[in-house]
Amino acid sequence: MVEKAVSDSQALLFVLSGPSGVGKDTILSELLKTDLKIRKCVTYTTRSPRPTEIDGVDYKFITLEEFNRLKEEGAFLEWAEVGGNFYATPKDFVEEKLKNGEDVILKIDVQGAMRVKELFPNAILIFIAPPSLEELRQRMEKRGTPPEEIERRLKIAEREMDMAKHYQFLIVNNELLETVEKVYRIIKEAQNKRDAGRESAAK
């Protein structure tokens, strides 16, 4: 059974969530530049790529038809609709990596995170919050997000912030490098703890 193989491998599953514009992508890309041994899971989306985004690197960009077909085939670990677009985590990737003992990090929304928590009760959930909603508004304005889109995303952000209580860790992103350092430490400590447990079991 996959579940048994995954738990035997003792690989760790981390989830990073937070409102749009909070800096999750930058935090994750900075984390991946460090010495952390962790695999990022590239997820599916039906939304169009942003100018800087690369298919297969940032997301697997697919049509709604492909999304529905993959959903039917049971290819998703979880899926969610966020702001009118569909997103999903590939089941095979996560299960295979965990089974092989590789730690995985998912950057997904709060609905997906709650589903992952049900499927993997040991998953480590980290929520990144903005210093304030006003700060989030300013960040989106700087990014050139259209005003009506800002209002819509702020409403979603408010609802998402309410879900932060279900996460083990809440980090307020006041300063990027400080936040990266904090997430790094959470991951490293969990890995060290797991490794120490393995060593003492081997003695």
Is 121:10 a contact under the CB 8 Å cutoff? no
To ligand 5GP, the closest distance from the beta carbon of 59 in angstroms equals 7
Residue in the block written with tokens 């998953």: 123
Other Cβ atoms closer than 10 A to 98:
23
Q: Which of 43, 46, 173, 179 binds ligand 5GP (CB under 6 A)?
A: 43
To ligand 5GP, the closest distance from the beta carbon of 131 in angstroms equals 18
128: contact with ligand 5GP by CB under 6 A: no
Q: Which of 111, 138, 145, 191 binds ligand 5GP (CB under 6 A)?
A: 111
Q: Which of 47, 60, 99, 152 binds ligand 5GP (CB under 6 A)?
A: 47
User: Of 94, 71, 121, nearest to 2 (Cα)?
Assistant: 94
Query: How far is residue 89's CA from residue 75's CA, in Å, rounded to a whole number?
Result: 8
104-107 and 85-90 beta bridge pairing: unpaired
Q: Which residues bind ligand 5GP (CB under 6 A)?
A: 20, 43, 47, 78, 80, 82, 87-89, 107-109, 111-112
